[in-house]
């Protein structure tokens, strides 16, 4: 039985496996090798052992700063984005007149290409004439200079990331729609409030989707690129520099492709470790049908 | 969620509207510039209603710029990538969710790992592969990879399949159904809502994809819209970009995604009401 399953497993995953071996694996191995060289994109590469990694970890303050900024940004943006999208999905799931209109409205920002959104937010964050500070001024609040202020620039990027929570909301809603209505009816009979039924039914049933949003959210946030590259260029004074934009700078501006590859693999190992920790923790809180005795 | 009190209804509407206005505000800006005349956009100052209002921009992007060609190319590329991504990811994720083999756990970690490597460092070798294949300046580097199942989609569908009771598969197996049968007759219909969501996402992603065409396409005849918008913004050389044209083109970029979402969300949110409701969580 097991043995036969094995053959079926490989048959079903074959579209991915073929693509991986033909188009992805080669470039991955190539970039691992290049991380041990001084490749500059144009001349042939010389093997220099672990020098890139040594320089990166012991002699590059900008790398450490960008790593710190990336963590700072991710650990605010991901949990905040997930809570807000769960909260929005909860409201969008109500049977209200015109709810379709709101569902479209909330999804809208996530379809704007990140390049266009970035250009838009540069204008919105402008210190005096920007819409955000003009809005705050209506309440008598003097807004910060956002992108020009080292203390606020990372939070400005967080605000920008919240604008696009609609994609995650779609997945949560799809999950909510799949929860059998009988469960809610049963809990209503037991006299549960809508808050109670959210925490005892909706949330646990959604954990597979929440888990997905968490894992892909962490991976995506730690790889933030276009926003930083277009909106702040890492400034002011590297206060918003992050790992992937720094990698890109090294590769395509300073032509230090070998060094950039080493940055990529250090980041990869960090992301992999974090993801594996989250996966290990999933046994404690993610609810799959199989785990239940009536499954 | 059957009975909703009047109070709850009111609170919901207030919250939905307030957040909605915040989300929509930037679009007003986009619309306002799209309708502004050339003279008005030179003055960068923002006005909610353009000082000089004009519809001409919408015909000008077709006559003065190549919007028609860009649109046609985007349609071709997006059509094939959506079909490729949904079909391949659905098939592959059945394998990861339901079948075990020696090393299947590690292979799943490898699949996830492909999301963790910054694309910037594999860009150059990937380009070399496509160049060797003679695919540069064709749609192939943009279309073909989507037929090989993306990790994001596979992981997402796997989450939904894992929430479907295995007892359904087992019952079908006792009835003599094989894995192809279980996949196509039981799992596929039950994952239809999430496949619709993936189709919407993959439409948005490919319709808006900028990096891919930037790297692989340099023939204006084969340029899709996302890159075309950029071309329009640099059309005047070192001068100020024609912002109103850029915003009109951006509207053409955005509106199809909204339409696809409006049409598609029905399948995401309502499809499984008629089917077995205990399926997808």
Q: What is the predicted pLDDT for the residue at B280?
A: 41
Say yes or no for a CB contact (<8 Å) between B29 and A131. yes
Classify B101 as helix, strand or coil: coil
Q: What is the pLDDT of residues A178-194, one digit of tens each?
A: 788 888 888 888 888 88
Q: Where is average pLDDT lowest: A139-148, A159-168, A248-257, B19-28? A: B19-28
Asked if B223 contacts B217 with a C-beta cutoff of 8 angstroms, the reply is yes
Cα-based torsion angle of the residue sequence B4, B6, B10, B13 in order, rounded to the nearest 10 degrees:
40
Q: What is the predicted pLDDT for the residue at B246?
A: 82
ipTM: 0.89
B185 touches A at CB < 8 Å: no
Q: What is the pLDDT of residues B203-255, one digit of tens each?
A: 999 998 888 999 999 998 999 998 898 888 877 766 677 778 888 888 898 88
Interior/surface letters B233-244, b for 16+ CB within 10 angstroms, e for the rest:
beeeeeeeebbb
pLDDT band at B271 (very low <50, low <70, confident <90, very high): low
Among the listed residues B199, B96, B76, the one whose alpha carbon sits nearest the alpha carbon of residue B138? B76
Q: What is the predicted pLDDT for the residue at B20?
A: 85
Classify A19 as helix, strand or coil: helix
Q: What is the predicted pLDDT for the residue at B112?
A: 96
Q: What is the predicted pLDDT for the residue at B152?
A: 95
Whether the bond into A236 is cis, omega within 30 of 0:
yes
Asked if A89 contacts A173 with a C-beta cutoff of 8 angstroms, the reply is yes
| Mean pLDDT for chain B overall | 86
Q: What is the predicted pLDDT for the residue at B238?
A: 64
Statement: residue A295 has pLDDT above 70: no
Looking at the DSSP bridge assignments, the partners of residue B199 are: none
Q: Which of A203-212, B87-96, B172-181 has the highest mean pLDDT?
A: B87-96
Mutate to test the interface with B, among A10, A14, A27 (most CBs of B within 10 A): A27
DSSP codes joined into one string, B125-137: HHHHHHHHTT-TT
Say yes or no for a CB contact (<8 Å) between A5 and B101. yes
Statement: residue B3 has pLDDT above 50: yes
Say yes or no for a CB contact (<8 Å) between B104 and A295. no
CA distance B78 to B19: 31
- The nearest CA of chain A is from the CA of B132 a distance in Å of 12
**HSE value, Cβ hemisphere, 13 Å, CA-based, for B255:** 9
B230 touches A at CB < 8 Å: yes
- The nearest CA of chain A is from the CA of B272 a distance in Å of 7
Residue of chain B with shortest Cα separation from A167: B201
Statement: residue B279 has pLDDT above 70: no
Residue A17 or residue B266, greater confidence = A17
Q: Per this entry, what is the length of chain B? A: 281
pLDDT band at A240 (very low <50, low <70, confident <90, very high): very high
Say yes or no for a CB contact (<8 Å) between A208 and B281. yes
Angle at A74 between CA A71 and CA A80, to 5 degrees: 140
CA distance A5 to B95: 9
Classify A47 as helix, strand or coil: strand
Among the listed residues A104, A143, A145, A119, the one whose alpha carbon sits nearest the alpha carbon of residue B33? A119
User: Alpha carbon A35 to chain centroid distance?
Assistant: 25
Q: What is the predicted pLDDT for the residue at B135?
A: 96
In this structure, which long-range contacts are made by residues A247-253, counting pairs with CB atoms below 8 Å and at least 24 apart in sequence?
A: A247/B118, A247/B120, A247/B121, A248/B120, A251/A41, A251/B120, A251/B121, A252/B120
Residue A207 or residue A112, greater confidence = A207
**Which chain B residues in 105-134 lie under 8 Å from chain A, judged by CB atoms?**
107, 109-118, 120-122, 124-126, 129
pTM to 2 decimals? 0.88
CA distance B135 to B137: 6
What percentage of residues in chain B have a pLDDT greater than 70? 88
Q: Where is average pLDDT lowest: B14-23, B45-54, B134-143, B196-205? A: B45-54
Statement: residue A87 has pLDDT above 50: yes
- The pLDDT of B35-43, averaged and rounded, is 69
Question: Which residues of chain B have a CB within 8 Å of the CB of A93?
Answer: 1
Q: What is the predicted pLDDT for the residue at A291?
A: 45
Selecting from A27, A117, A175 the residue whose C-beta is nearest the C-beta of B281 gives A175
pLDDT band at B2 (very low <50, low <70, confident <90, very high): very low
B257 touches A at CB < 8 Å: yes
CA distance A239 to A151: 8
Q: What is the predicted pLDDT for the residue at B43?
A: 53
Angle at A30 between CA A27 and CA A36, to 5 degrees: 145
Say yes or no for a CB contact (<8 Å) between A174 and B194. yes
Question: Which residues of chain B have a CB within 8 Å of the CB of A211?
Answer: 159
């Amino acid at each position: 039985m097991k043995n036969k399953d094995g053959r079926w497993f490989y048959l079903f995953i074959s579209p991915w496996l073929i693509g991986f071996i033909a188009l992805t694996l080669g470039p991955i191995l190539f970039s691992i090798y290049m991380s041990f060289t001084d490749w500059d994109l144009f001349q042939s590469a010389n093997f220099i052992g672990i020098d890139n990694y040594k320089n990166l970890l012991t002699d590059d303050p900008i790398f450490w700063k960008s790593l710190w900024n990336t963590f700072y940004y991710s650990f605010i943006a991901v949990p905040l984005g997930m809570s807000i999208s769960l909260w929005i999905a909860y409201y969008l799931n109500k049977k209200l007149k015109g709810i379709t209109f709101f569902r479209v409205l909330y999804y809208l920002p996530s379809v704007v290409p990140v390049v266009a959104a970035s250009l838009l937010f540069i204008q919105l964050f402008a210190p005096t004439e920007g819409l955000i500070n003009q809005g705050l001024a209506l309440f008598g609040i003097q807004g910060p200079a956002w992108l020009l202020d080292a203390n606020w620039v990372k939070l400005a990027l967080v605000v920008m990331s919240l604008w696009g929570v609609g994609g995650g909301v779609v997945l949560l809603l799809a999950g909510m729609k799949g929860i059998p209505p009988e469960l809610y009816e049963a809990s209503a009979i037991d006299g549960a409030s809508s808050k109670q039924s959210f925490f005892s039914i909706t949330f646990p049933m959604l954990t597979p989707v929440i888990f997905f949003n968490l894992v892909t959210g962490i991976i995506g946030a730690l790889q933030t690129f276009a926003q930083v590259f277009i909106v702040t260029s890492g400034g002011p004074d590297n206060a918003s520099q992050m790992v992937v934009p720094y990698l890109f700078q090294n590769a395509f501006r300073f032509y230090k492709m070998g060094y950039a590859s080493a940055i990529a693999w250090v980041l990869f190992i960090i992301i992999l470790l974090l993801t594996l920790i989250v996966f290990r923790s999933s046994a404690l809180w993610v609810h799959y049908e199989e785990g239940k005795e009536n499954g | 969620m059957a009975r909703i009190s009047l109070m709850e209804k009111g609170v919901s509407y207030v919250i939905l509207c307030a957040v909605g206005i915040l989300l929509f505000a930037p679009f007003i800006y986009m619309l306002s510039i799209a309708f502004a005349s050339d003279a008005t956009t030179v003055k960068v100052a923002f006005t909610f209603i353009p000082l000089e209002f004009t519809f001409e921009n919408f015909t000008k992007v077709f006559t003065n710029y190549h919007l028609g060609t860009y649109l046609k190319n985007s349609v071709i590329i997006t059509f094939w990538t959506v079909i490729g991504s949904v079909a391949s990811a659905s098939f592959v994720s059945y394998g990861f969710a339901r079948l075990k083999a020696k090393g299947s756990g590690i292979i799943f970690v490898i699949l996830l790992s492909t999301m963790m490597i910054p694309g910037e460092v594999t860009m150059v070798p990937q380009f070399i592969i496509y160049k060797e294949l003679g695919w540069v300046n064709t749609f192939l580097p943009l279309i073909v990879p989507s037929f090989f199942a993306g990790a994001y989609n596979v992981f997402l569908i796997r989450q939904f399949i894992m929430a479907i009771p295995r007892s359904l598969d087992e019952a079908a197996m006792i009835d003599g159904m094989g894995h192809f049968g279980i996949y196509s007759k039981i799992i596929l219909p039950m994952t239809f809502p999430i496949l619709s969501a993936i189709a919407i996402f993959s439409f948005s992603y490919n319709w808006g994809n900028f990096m891919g065409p930037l790297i692989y396409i340099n023939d204006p005849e084969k340029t899709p819209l996302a890159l075309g918008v950029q071309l329009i913004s640099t059309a005047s050389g070192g001068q100020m970009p024609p912002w109103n044209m850029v915003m009109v083109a951006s509207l053409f970029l955005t509106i199809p995604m909204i339409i696809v979402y409006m049409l598609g969300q029905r399948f995401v949110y309502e499809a499984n009401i008629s089917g077995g409701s205990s399926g997808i969580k």
